[in-house]
Amino acid sequence: MSESRLEEFMKAEVHYFAQQRDQQGLEPLTLPQLVSQSYSLECMEQALRRELPIRFAARIKHIQKIQQWEKIPELVDLHNMHVTSFRELRLAEVRGHTNLSEVVQRIRQRHKPIAGLFAEAVSAMHNILPDFSDVPASAPNSNTQASPPGEGGSMDFQALDAWADRFLQSRISTELMMTHYMEMIQAGEQKDCMGILDKDCDPYEVCLVAAQKTSKLGSTSCVINVKEPRKAIRVCHTPRYLYYILHELLSTSVRSTLGTTQARPIDITVCADDHDVVIRICDNGGGLAAGHAANKWSYTSHLSSADEPPVHSLRTLMEEESKDGGDEAAILLKPWASEHNPLSGRGIGLPMCRLYAQYLGGTLEVINMPGEGVDTYLIFHKIELARNVSNGMA
């Protein structure tokens, strides 16, 4: 088959798989749903072969909904990235390529820059929109059925936020699926873990690691107190993604706290009952600015702050410091504390944290104390379904 003929075939495939998603009304898989399909490696491979092409095709079409998307270089890069990954998956399927792990690993490496590219793409679209101060304050809703920016009407911030939410929800679903699959392969016979899940995950330990990793900004330190729970907490959950969320939230708190004249400690409390685990982060960084408080979940609200340094700058500094060893060495023994954080991006960390929390079956609540600080509550449910599946495998 000629290259031009293959290209036409792939375009038809993208259209077909994207239609499948529309017809079936597929929503991003929740974590319990993902786990229910992972009682064996073969079952997980079947889920990947079925789900990934559909979701990649849907994201390709989602990008194409933006009017004149070809004129935004970052959207072009995202589009090409997904087209290449979709093509690899479909060619592997057609040619009977049995080693799915090789294909998935290449796709994971290729998709690592997505968070940064996506933030830049949203920023570029944001710059086309009217002045932010002219738009009424409103928090975006992930279920909002607003028209995509530039499609069927004028662009507005609510439409852009809804478009961004939908793209990232799909991204989170496929990212966790691929990471879970690769971890299942690498875990082998470990009884405590199944993929990204740890049957005895200790949220207090995750908080300690996140606190130690984020306590410094350059040469300046911030005190982070993690209160030990009254009784030990063990849940079946994913320490990796809890860490990602906490690392991003603490990065913002540390930056705000060290920006005050008198940096006071950040306090973290962990508690649980039979159903839920709650992690509270209290900082004294002065609280959110007036515009940000009303639009804290809006991607455009965070991008409008040109005077604030990007969130990922803190992560970069800490990664450089960790190369020197010292106190960081113990942290790096935790694999989920040393890998690239997919939540880190340019000014979109908070809305991304909320989406990840929702995917994990929880919620993220942010209470602004004007002039004082921010209280953040990460609440997630214990995954009993995952525990049952894990016990069945052990």
Q: Supply the mean pLDDT for the chain.
A: 79
Q: In the chain, what are the domains? A: 3-187 (1.20.140.20), 193-393 (3.30.565.10)
DSSP per residue over 1-32, as a string? --HHHHHHHHHHHHHHHHHHHHHHT--PPPHH
- When pLDDT is averaged across residues 366-372 and rounded to a whole number, the result is 92
Condensed to tens digits (0 to 9), the pLDDT of residues 6-23 reads: 778 788 888 888 887 665
Question: Residue 317 has what pLDDT?
Answer: 33
**How many angstroms separate the Cα of 249 from the Cα of each of 3, 344, 351?**
47, 10, 11
- When pLDDT is averaged across residues 61-81 and rounded to a whole number, the result is 93
pTM of the model: 0.82
> Which pair of structure tokens corresponds to residue 265?
């400690």
Q: The tokens 């093509």 sit on which residue?
A: 87
**237 has a pLDDT exceeding 60:** yes
CB 97 within 8 A of CB 88: no
Q: How far apart are CA 18 and CA 57, in angstroms?
A: 5
- pLDDT: is 155 or 225 the higher one? 225
**How many angstroms separate the Cα of 252 from the Cα of each of 45, 220, 369?**
37, 15, 15
Q: How far apart are CA 96 and CA 84, in angstroms?
A: 18
Q: How far apart are CA 296 and CA 289, in angstroms?
A: 10
Q: How far apart are CA 277 and CA 262, in angstroms?
A: 32
3-state secondary structure of 163: helix
In this prediction, residue 319 has a pLDDT band, given cuts at 50, 70 and 90, of very low
**290 has a pLDDT exceeding 80:** no
Question: Residue 353 has what pLDDT?
Answer: 94
- pLDDT: is 191 or 84 the higher one? 84
CB 221 within 8 A of CB 234: no
Beta strands in the chain (DSSP E): 193-194, 197-201, 216-217, 220-221, 224-227, 235-237, 266-272, 276-282, 362-369, 373-381
Put the strands of the sheet holding 373-381 in their side by side order.
Answer: 224-227, 266-272, 276-282, 373-381, 362-369
CB 208 within 8 A of CB 225: no
**How many angstroms separate the Cα of 243 from the Cα of each of 27, 108, 163, 181, 239?**
25, 19, 27, 19, 6
Beta-carbon count within 10 A of 13 CB:
17
Beta-carbon count within 10 A of 286 CB:
17
Condensed to tens digits (0 to 9), the pLDDT of residues 196-230 reads: 888 899 999 999 999 988 887 666 788 999 999 99
Residue type, 83: V
Question: Residue 95 has what pLDDT?
Answer: 72
CB 120 within 8 A of CB 299: no
